Amino acid sequence: MSQTSQYTEDNIRSLDWKEHIRMRPGMYIGKLGDGSSADDGIYILVKEVLDNCIDEFVMGAGKTIEITIKDGNVNVRDYGRGIPLGKVVDVVSKMNTGGKYDSRAFKKSVGLNGVGTKAVNALSSYFRVESNRDNQSKAAEFEKGNLISDEAPIESSRRRGTKVTFKPDETIFKNYKFRNEYLEKMLRNYVYLNPGLTIVFNGEKFYSENGLKDLLQDATNESDILYPIIHLKGDDIEVALTHSKTQYSEEYHSFVNGQNTTQGGTHLAAFREAVVKTLRDFYGKNYDASDIRKSIIAAISIKVMEPVFESQTKTKLGSTDMGGDLPTVRTYINDFIGRKLDNFLHKNQEVAEALQRKIIQAEKERKELSGIRKLAKERAKKASLHNKKLRDCRVHLGDMKKDNRLDSTLFITEGDSASGSITKSRDVNTQAVFSLRGKPLNSYGMSKKIVYENEEFNLLQAALNIEESMEDLRYNNIVIATDADVDGMHIRLLLITFFLQFFPELIKEGHLYILQTPLFRVRNKKETIYCYSEDERREAIEKLRGKPEITRFKGLGEISPDEFKHFIGDDIRLDPVMLDKAMSIENLLQFYMGKNTPDRQEFIINNLKVELDLIEEETN
C-alpha cells in the first residue's frame, strides 16, 4: 500500500500580493520571453504603465507622454492630474486599489481591475513612482515589490503628472532586450487611437491627426491599395478599410478602449459579419463572404463600458454588450456599418465599382481553385500530416481561448538529422516540428494555385491552419530553423518569400522568427561555452585560456539532442522577421527573388566580401 503524504495546516499558505505575482507572472502578463516577441512580458509591463497615462489623456488631462528606455531601464512621464499624494504607495502596491473602479471617472478605461502597476512593481528589480500635484511632490521606491523608501510630500514647482521608473527583474525576464520596432508599433497604435496625443520616445515624436486612417496609410503602400481608404467615425466606434491589389488574405487591426486586441473577439467577429451583410445588400447579390473579405485590410476601434476580456493581457474581447443604454456589440456594429458604409458607397460610385470588380474577381479565382483545393485537402489527409510531416505538440490550439497559445511554437526545419535533433530535445507540450523535404519552391510571382499544387506548401499551410483566416493560426511562434550555411540561408529566403507572397500578415503581426543556433562550441575540462558569433568565440577562448577544444557546427544535425535542448529552451535566441515600412512587399520580393538586377548583384558581391573576410579571419 502506497504511503499517503501528510496534509495539515502547515501545507496551507497565504501569499501576499507581490509573492503571488512573482510566483505566477503568467496570470498577470501572459508569457515572459526575452523581448524577441511583441507579446513578451517586458512590453506588457511598459503597456500597463502607459495605459494609466492614456487614461489621463482621455480624461482631458495631459496631451504629452514622455518615454525613455536605455540599458533596460524604463522611464514614463505623463502630465495628467497626478496620483492623489496620500495614495501614491497604495495604487502601486495594494491589489484592487485604483481610481478606475469609480465609473464616474473612468467610464471606458483600458484597465479596470487595479492590477497593472502592481504587476510592474512586483516584477521589477527596481520601481519608483513619483506624483506631482497641488504644488507638491511625493515619491516611493520599491525592490521586487518591497517598499524601500516612502518619502514625505515636499513643496515642488514641477508640472503636475506622474513619473514611473522601473527595471524588469532579470531573474524573471532572462537576457531580455527591448526592441524598438515593437515599442514603436505599440506607441503608434496609442496615437492612432488618441488623435491629438503626442508621445515622445527617446527623443522621437509620435502623433496622429486622422486616427485609424493614418494607421492604414502607414500599414500599406499607396500603390498596393485598390481604392482610397474609407474612414468612418461614430461616438463609440471608428473604422478604416480598403482592399489590397495583391494580398490574398484578410488583415485586421482591432482595438477596444485603446487596447490592441490581437486575437480579436466579439467586436471583430461583428465587424466581419457587418461588412459582408452591408455589401450584399448594397449590390443586391448574395456574394460569398470569403469573396467579399478577400484582400481586405481594415481597422476597427470601439469603446465599451467596463469591457470583459478573456485574459489579463486583454488580447481578446469577450463582452457581448456595449454597456449603458447601448445595444449589444453585434447590433451596434452592424447598425453602424450598415448605415455609414452604405452611405459612403452611394456617394462614391468609383469606389463601389472598384470594390465590386474585386469581389467578382475573387469569386472567379475561388471557383477555379475549388477543385484543386479539394484534391489538396485529400492529399494532406493521405500524407498523414500529423504523423509524417508534423510532429505536433500537446497543446490543441483549435480552442483559441487557451492562454497557452502564446507559448506555442512550430519549428520549420529541413532534413532528417536536423528535425530529429529538434524533435528529441523539444518541449512536447508547446513545441512542434515540421520537416521540409529539400528546398521549397521559389513562389515569387506565382498565384495561390501553387500553394495547393505544391505538396510542401500545401502541407505547411494545413499544419498552420491558415487557409481561411489568421484567427485559426495554430501556433503563435513560427520559427525557421535551418543550417547557418549557404543552403540554409537559401531555404530561409524561400520560406520567407512564401509567407510574404501568400500570408504577409503572419510577418506583419510578428509571428515569424529565425532560430539562432551556435556556430562554435569552446570548452575545456571545466567549462563549455557556446558561441553565436566570431566575437563570442574570441571572448570564450580568452576566458578559458590555454588551448580549449573548439568545434565548428556546420549544421543543426551535428548538434546532439542533449545540447539542442539548451538552444530551444529558456535560453532560446530568436530573430524576428520584420518588414521595412519604407519598402512595399512587392518591391521587396522583386529585389530578392525576381530576375537578376545590377542592384542585387552589387548587394550579393558586397555581402559576399564580408562573409569571405570572416572566413579568412577564422582560417588564420
- From residue 378, give the alpha-carbon distance in Å to each of 348, 375, 463, 466: 44, 5, 14, 17
Alpha carbons 147 and 135: distance in angstroms, whole number: 25
Alpha carbons 72 and 52: distance in angstroms, whole number: 21
538 CB neighbour count, 10 Å cutoff = 14
pLDDT of 553 > 70? The answer is yes
pLDDT of 505 > 50? The answer is yes
Pairing of strands 136-143, 146-150: antiparallel
Which of 147-156, 348-357, 472-481 shows the highest mean pLDDT? Answer: 348-357
Alpha carbons 269 and 280: distance in angstroms, whole number: 17
For the chain, what is the largest distance between any 2 Cα atoms, rounded to a whole number of angstroms?
82
User: Could you tell me which residues come within 8 angstroms of residue 435 by beta carbon, excluding any fewer than 6 positions away?
Assistant: 389, 390, 391, 413, 414, 415, 416, 419
Q: Tell me which of 224 and 272 has the higher pLDDT.
A: 272
What SS3 state is found at 6?
coil
Q: Could you report the per-residue pLDDT of 176-234, keeping only the tens digit for each?
A: 999 998 999 999 999 999 999 999 999 999 999 999 999 999 888 787 899 999 999 99
User: Could you tell me which residues come within 8 angstroms of residue 479 by beta carbon, excluding any fewer than 6 positions away?
Assistant: 409, 410, 411, 412, 513, 514, 515, 574
Q: What would the grid cell of residue 557 be?
A: 544535425
Rg (CA), the chain: 26
Which of 98-112, 392-406, 524-538 shows the highest mean pLDDT? Answer: 524-538
Q: What would the grid cell of residue 106 be?
A: 473612468
Q: Do residues 271 and 251 touch, judged by C-beta distance below 8 A?
A: no
Pairing of strands 520-523, 549-552: antiparallel
What SS3 state is found at 562?
helix
Q: Nearest CA to 585 among 361, 352, 357, 295?
A: 295
**Over residues 312-338, mean pLDDT:** 82
Q: Could you report the per-residue pLDDT of 557-611, keeping only the tens digit for each?
A: 778 888 888 888 877 888 888 876 555 566 666 655 666 566 655 555 455 444 4
Q: Do residues 410 and 389 touch, judged by C-beta distance below 8 A?
A: no
Report residue 187: phi and psi, to 5°. -70, -35
Give me the domains of the chain, ranges plus CATH numbers. Answer: 17-207 (3.30.565.10), 212-368 (3.30.230.10), 383-517+555-582 (3.40.50.670), 520-551 (no CATH)
Alpha carbons 280 and 267: distance in angstroms, whole number: 20
Q: What would the grid cell of residue 518 be?
A: 551556435
Q: Could you report the per-residue pLDDT of 441-464, keeping only the tens digit for each?
A: 888 878 888 888 888 888 888 888
Q: Do residues 445 and 451 touch, judged by C-beta distance below 8 A?
A: no
Q: What would the grid cell of residue 529 be?
A: 561555452
Q: Do residues 341 and 278 touch, judged by C-beta distance below 8 A?
A: yes
Tell me the one-letter amino acid at 60.
Answer: G
Give me the percent of the chain exceeding a pLDDT of 70.
83
Residue 220: per-residue pLDDT:
83
pLDDT of 77 > 90? The answer is yes
Q: What would the grid cell of residue 550 be?
A: 573548439
Residue 347: per-residue pLDDT:
96
What SS3 state is found at 74?
strand
- From residue 166, give the alpha-carbon distance in Å to each of 68, 140, 276, 612: 11, 12, 46, 44
498: buried, middle or exposed (CB in 10 Å: 19+, 13-18, 0-12)? Answer: buried
Q: Do residues 468 and 366 touch, judged by C-beta distance below 8 A?
A: no
Q: What would the grid cell of residue 503 be?
A: 500570408
**Over residues 411-429, mean pLDDT:** 85
pLDDT of 490 > 70? The answer is yes
Q: Could you report the per-residue pLDDT of 510-524, keeping only the tens digit for each?
A: 899 999 888 888 998
First to last CA, the chain: 68
Residue 492: per-residue pLDDT:
87
3-state helix, strand, coil in the chain (%, to 5): 40, 20, 40
Residue 96: per-residue pLDDT:
56
Q: Do residues 413 and 517 touch, judged by C-beta distance below 8 A?
A: no
Alpha carbons 199 and 201: distance in angstroms, whole number: 6
Alpha carbons 569 and 551: distance in angstroms, whole number: 22
pLDDT of 133 > 70? The answer is yes
Evaluate if pTM is beyond 0.75.
yes
